[in-house]
Structures are given as C-alpha cells and as structure tokens.
Amino acid sequence: MKTIAVMTDFSDRANNAAKYALGLAQHLHANVLLYNSFVVPSAEPLGLQVAWSLESFNELQADSEKELHLLADDLRRDLSALPEGSFKPVIYCKCDNGTLSANLNALLSDREILLLVIGSHRKRASGFMLSNHMREMIDGVQLPILIIPEQQQFTKIGKIAFATDLQGSDLNVLSSLSGFARPSYAQIMLTHICTGNVPAKISDQKIDNFLQEVGNKINYPNIFFRKVTEEHLKDGFKWLIENVASDILVMVHRNKSFWDQLLNHSNTQKMAERINLPLLVYPCPADSLPVF
C-alpha cells in the first residue's frame, strides 16, 4: 500500500513532523513508515582509532528501535481517538546504520513510498532549508519532500499554492499534485512570478500557452491562476508567502541555480523566518512522480 516515510532523529521538531505526516496519511489513505539512521562512531572521523564492539552496535540499534516504537505508540494513541470507521494508517518502523544520505537509495527502492516528510529547524543560524543535510536530500532524492515547520499542525488541506515557472515538466508535477489535492477537493492555485528581466508580452504569452496545456491535459477542475509581478524572484516569493493564504506551498527543485537565486541573499534568514507553512518540493528531472 502507498506509504509516507518520515525521517526522524527523535527531536521535538521531528516528532511534530511525524504527527503532521499521520494526519496527511489519513488524508491520502496511506500508511506511515518511521525511519531513523543511526551512526556507529567508527564511521565518523578518527573513529577507526577506537575499537567499537558488536555490543556497542547492538546497543545503538536497540536504542533506535526503542525510540521508533515509542514514537509509533504515541501516534497510535492519536489514531485510537478517531471515530469508528475512520481510516487508520498502519505505522511501521525501520532503522539502519549509517548516515541518512547513504541509506536513502536503499530506502527509496520501496516503490510504495510516495514522499518523504522531514521537520525543519528555523532557529539555527543556517535557517529554514539551508542546512547541508536538507540541501543534500533535496538535491539527491527522486521523490517529493515535504518540509514541516516547527509546531505546524495538520489541518484539512483546502488550498495549495504551486509556484510554477511554466515549463512543460510542471504539467507532470501538476498531475501528481491533483491527486494529492483530490481527497479534500483542495484548490490548486498556480502562481507564476514574473520578474523585471522578462518583457510583459512574452510572459503573458507563455502563461496563456501553459494554461491551455493545463486545460487540455490535467483532469482536475479546481485549479486557478495568479500572476505575481516583482523585480526579483526572491521578492516574488516573499510577497507570495506573506500575502497568499494557503495550507501548503509547492515548488519544483529544477537545479541548484534556482535555489541560488532564491537563497543566496543577505536577507535569507528574515525570509526563512516568515515561512510558516509546509513546503512540498518536487524533484526535476524525475524518472516518475507519485500517483497519490
């Protein structure tokens, strides 16, 4: 059965992301996999200078499994409060030795996994989505990644804002996203940020062509469009975050230069602190995108 994988390190932010993922799993009628990568110290620099016994490895694995099952039990208690007849996701646990980046390929060989969920941490100096760990995941994973802000609680998904640059591959993303939205018949608001370096006539023609393709190829009626005009891309996203009410923001990670345009500015931290809604990042290119 389709599954949502939650990456957890047992921190408060990760536990909160797991609770959000549980609500999303109910929305999508999917199961939940709680996943932890634990690192044996000998895998770290200078670790080979110390003899780590099999007992040490077993202890680390046992600790990881214990924490996973405690988290799973907590989520099951939430499910027990649901009304009779409600869909209740099955919760699985899995842990592996090694870094998360080293284990991701094996984890994602499970074709039932639809997306990854991970908690953000906006209090660190690196800011939202800027840690090497998270950037590495976004750069390397061929599945959508849902990043949950601290203390964000799941609510019924009523409106999804999809920031599109109108490329043809975004039609595939929109097709996948329509399945994500369909259980609650959520609005999908396509948003295109027009910057000062693109002539208005060219931009409008590109928008018209894209929307015609949407009408021809996407079988989901609850789609709307909004154009945002700003001098710079980062200003457009800032306006979008501050002025458009939505439950989830969707972006496509097309290449590293896109993130460089958005993130490599002196006001990155201020902008990051304003992001208070879940961010769903689709990969591009991707061999295939999930059908929700």
Q: Is residue 289 part of a domain?
A: no
Q: Helix (H, G, I), strand (E, B), or coil: what is residue 38?
A: strand
Residues 164 and 268 in one domain: yes
Say yes or no: 101 and 166 in one domain: no
Each residue of 203-223: pLDDT tens digit? 788 999 999 999 999 999 999
Look at residue 181 and tell me if it is in a domain: yes
Q: What is the pLDDT of residue 129?
A: 38
In total, how many domains does the chain have?
A: 2
Residues 184 and 268 in one domain: yes
Q: Are residues 188 and 263 in the same domain?
A: yes
Do 192 and 278 belong to one domain?
Answer: yes
Contacts of residue 92, defined as CB under 8 A and 6 or more positions apart, other chains included, come to 3, 31, 32, 33, 34, 72
Classify residue 148 by burial, with Cβ atoms within 10 Å: 0-12, 13-18, 19+.
buried
In a domain, 23, yes or no: yes
42 lies in a domain? yes
> For residue 164, what is the domain's CATH number?
3.40.50.620
Would 187 be classed as within a structural domain?
Answer: yes
Expressed as residue numbers, the domain containing 239 is 159-283
Residues 275 and 167 in one domain: yes
Please tell me the distance from the alpha carbon of residue 258 to that of residue 255, in angstroms, as a whole number: 6
Instruction: Please check whether residue 179 lies inside any domain of the structure.
Output: yes
Hunting for tokens 């939205």 — which residue is that?
A: 181
Print pLDDT tens along the chain (292 aa). Answer: 899 999 998 999 999 999 999 999 999 999 999 999 887 665 445 444 455 556 677 888 899 999 999 999 999 999 999 998 999 999 999 998 877 777 888 888 877 899 999 988 654 433 333 455 666 777 778 889 998 988 899 999 999 999 898 988 999 999 999 999 999 999 999 999 887 776 776 678 899 999 999 999 999 999 999 988 887 777 887 788 888 889 999 988 876 555 555 555 433 334 444 567 898 989 887 778 888 8
Same domain (yes/no): 163, 279: yes
With respect to residue 51, please indicate whether it lies within any of the assigned structural domains.
yes
